[in-house]
C-alpha cells in the first residue's frame, strides 16, 4: 500500500498570502488528486490528475509534482479557502489518502 504523507498537518495563512501544501508518496505514483473538505461537509474533488482544476475551483489554486512529491498551491489566500485538504493516489490498489492538511485563516 502506498502511504501518503501530507505536510504541514495544520497551518494558518493571512488573506492574500501564498500557501503551499505538500504530499509525499512512499512510492512513485502517476498522478495525485486533491480534495477540499470544509467543516461538516463531504469532501469535494478539487484538483485531479495532479494539475487539473475541478469544476468551479478558482484559478488561484494550482497543483504540480511528479513521482513521489506533489503540491497544491494557493496563489493568494482567501477566507473561503479555509478547509482541510487531502491528497489521494489511485495509481496503485488500494487507493489511499494522505492524513490531511488543515488550513486556517490567520
Partner 1 sequence: EVQLVESGGGLVQPGRSLKLSCVASGFTFSNYGMNWIRQAPGKGLEWVAYISSGSSYIYYAETVKGRFTISRDNAKNTLYLQMTSLRSEDTALYYCARPVQPGYFDYWGQGVMVTVSS
Please name which of 28, 8, 32 lies closest in space to residue 20, comparing C-alpha atoms. Answer: 8
Nearer to partner 1, 20 or 97 (CB): 97
**Sole residue written with cell 487539473:** 52
Q: Min. distance of Cβ 97 from partner 1 in angstroms?
A: 4
Q: Min. distance of Cβ 56 from partner 1 in angstroms?
A: 12
Q: Residue 89 forms beta bridges with which residues?
A: 96
Query: What does the binding site for partner 1 look like in residue numbers (CB under 8 A)?
Result: 30-31, 33, 35, 42-45, 48-49, 54, 86, 88-91, 93-100
Nearer to partner 1, 31 or 70 (CB): 31
Q: Residue 21 forms beta bridges with which residues?
A: 72
CB 93 within 8 A of CB 103: no
Nearer to partner 1, 77 or 88 (CB): 88
Amino acid at each position: 500500500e502506498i502511504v501518503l504523507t501530507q505536510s504541514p498537518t495544520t497551518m494558518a495563512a493571512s488573506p492574500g498570502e501564498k500557501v503551499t501544501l505538500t504530499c509525499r508518496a512512499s512510492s512513485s505514483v502517476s498522478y495525485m488528486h486533491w480534495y477540499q473538505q470544509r467543516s461538516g461537509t463531504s469532501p469535494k474533488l478539487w484538483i485531479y490528475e495532479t494539475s487539473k482544476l475541478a469544476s468551479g475551483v478558482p484559478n488561484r489554486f494550482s497543483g504540480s509534482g511528479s513521482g513521489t512529491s506533489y503540491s497544491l498551491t494557493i496563489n493568494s489566500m482567501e477566507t473561503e479557502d479555509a478547509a482541510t485538504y487531502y491528497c489521494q493516489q489511485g495509481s496503485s490498489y488500494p487507493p489511499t489518502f494522505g492524513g490531511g492538511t488543515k488550513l486556517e485563516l490567520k
